[in-house]
Amino acid sequence: MDELSGLPDIWAAPLSQGWSVFPLQPRGKKPLCEWKKFQVERASLEQVREWAKRECNIGIVTGRISKIVVLDLDSEEAIAEAKRLGLPPTSTVRTGKGLHLYFRHPGSFDVPNATGIFPGADIRGDGGYVVGPGSVHENGKVYTWALPPGLYDFAPLPEWLINRLKPDAARVLAERVRNAPPGTRNNTLNRVAFQTARMAARHEIDGPDARRRLAEAAMDAGLDRHEILPTVRSGWKAGIAAELARGIAARPHPKPPPRFDWVSGSILPVLSGQWIIKGLLPREGIAVAYGRPGCGKSLVVLDVALRIAAGMDWRGLKTKPCPVSYLASEGGGAFANRVVAWCAEYGVACPPGFRFSTVMLDLRSDDADALALIRDVQTHQPGCGLVVIDTLSRNMAGGNENAAEDMGAFVNLCDRISKELGCLVLIVHHTGKDEARGARGHSLLLGAVSTELEITRKQDEPGSIKVTKQRDGADGAEYGFMLKVMTVGVDEDGETVTCAVAIHTDAPRARPRSQGKVQHAIYDAFCQFVLDHGEPNPGGTGFPDAGRVRVVDFEAFVQFAAGRLTAASPSAAKKIVRRTIRALVERRVLALNGGKLWSLS
């Protein structure tokens, strides 16, 4: 550019990019002028020419005015960590101690300055600046372009970095509502909800978190809680619609498909692609697994989800390997321990196609969160075949499960997720007070699901998974499981951290009536011993098919059970245990072969 002729390259190059600049101390970072005004206006060319006559470093204002955000990495360790998290090719400056990576400002929200996003890593966004290339570090090294503009464009911010900035972006938006003058608060809330929804639809902020912050800010501002929800809902719905319209407008409009897809003439059977677990869970639609609190239903469903993601058979049934998104809304931060325990039990790494989130969605009030989930999966996990919602109540936003309107809204949104993603939505749910009446809530849910699994288990006993509804197959199948406690690590106090995992067993049979307190005590001791020491059975004469049940060493169990009979001497206790085991074997409660003991019930 002719107007920049005569300027040293240290000044001319940033100006040619349209960046806002100002002078810094030689070999330093301290501004030599009042620089904050250059966040909203650029210095005149005459000012820059005066600065260029002096011996100084150059400061580049980051943020909206220069349309850049800079990731400052101050050590080799920080550079290695950023690469591990994922760095797209982008214009990069080598500094006195590390790197400055220049990214394109998102434009839709203010990017806050942040220090220590991990050791040695800072962000310079709106309201910040960096030392520009051509400057001299205090150690004598010159800031130089490693990957200059022109060879590399300014890449968008990596997703992991946006995620770390999301809470601050949501806070800034909420503050606009909290600080709105009286008389404008309701309109401000509506406008901010509109803007927030658009950002959530583009995955720039966490939608549920932002909605919660907006509601809190509105209450702090003095708005009545009864007007907050309708105002937020109105703005949010309009924002989602506007963002969808923008995406649709950017694409050529395809010819709409016919409303009815009639099939006639020579109708052929559909013979493949119907199941995600053959004969158990369909490829698409809605399924539900329900049980009382503490029965292990989430552990059973996690086992299902991980086996599908890993392409492992489930109870000898073939699975359709595919990515899985698990909404562990009731699991909290410790849900990761369940995954670790399962991987340790089965000796496998966590399947790369499995991911989970502990966020809670609103799948009742409107379609905003359902659309956000659909877009997230389409963008970040294409081909996802299973979405788990754990639990229904945590993702119903306080709705009434017994009300047709609320349950109908929930079911319709789950159906929409299934249809738009072409996946199965598996819902984890609870029983009501009367367990015999099945899953709690309105019967709309049972009518909508293709498969219903009833999960039952009494404390310290084997559990049952029973197919109580199968729309396109036979119901009534039953499978057994037990909960095994696994060690997953040691906490900050040096104490062991444990977590349960669901392991496969034969379907439990009806337990025979107790033949006395001793038999009952020995059987309970056996159930506990199997949980702690059981191993898959060997094959061969007298055994079930290899790996079908968990067996324990007979003599080891005798020793264990005898220790629980405190009323007898050690030798007498062992005789009692052996006699009781023989009685349980005769009654076909237990089986004994080759020194191995297992349950038949």
Q: Please give the full DSSP string across 21-45, using - where no structure is assigned.
A: EEEE-TTS--BSS--GGGGTSPPPH
Token match 């694409």: residue? 251
Phi, psi of 436 (to 5 degrees): -65, -20
pLDDT score at 514 = 47
Burial class (CB in 10 A: 0-12, 13-18, 19+), 176: middle
pLDDT score at 515 = 60
Compute the distance between CA of residue 112 and CA of residue 106 in angstroms, rounded to an integer.
Answer: 12
Closest C-alpha among 433, 432, 434, 473 to residue 452? 473
Closest C-alpha among 46, 49, 12 to residue 149? 12
Token match 């409303």: residue? 259
Q: Is residue 205 within 8 Å of residue 366, measured between CB atoms? A: no
State which amino acid sits at residue 451: T
Closest C-alpha among 17, 15, 10, 11 to residue 153? 17
Burial class (CB in 10 A: 0-12, 13-18, 19+), 292: middle
Closest C-alpha among 566, 69, 476 to residue 280? 476
Q: Is residue 24 within 8 Å of residue 32, measured between CB atoms? A: yes
For the chain, which residues make up each domain, given as ranges?
A: 2-157, 163-248, 282-505, 517-599
CATH architecture type of domain 2-157: 2-Layer Sandwich (3.30)
pLDDT score at 541 = 81
Containing 399, the helix (H) or strand (E) segment is none
pLDDT score at 253 = 47
Report domain 517-599's class.
Answer: mainly alpha
Compute the distance between CA of residue 286 and CA of residue 497 in angstroms, rounded to an integer.
Answer: 35
pLDDT score at 546 = 78
Containing 266, the helix (H) or strand (E) segment is none
pLDDT score at 135 = 94
Answer yes or no: CATH 3.40.50.300 is held by domain 282-505: yes
Counting as low any pLDDT under 50, the low residues of the chain are: 1, 248-254, 513-514
Residues 6 or more apart whose Cβ sits within 8 Å of residue 33: 22, 23
How do 324-328 and 155-156 pair as beta strands?
A: unpaired
Residues 6 or more apart whose Cβ sits within 8 Å of residue 90: 101, 102, 103, 147, 152, 153, 154, 155
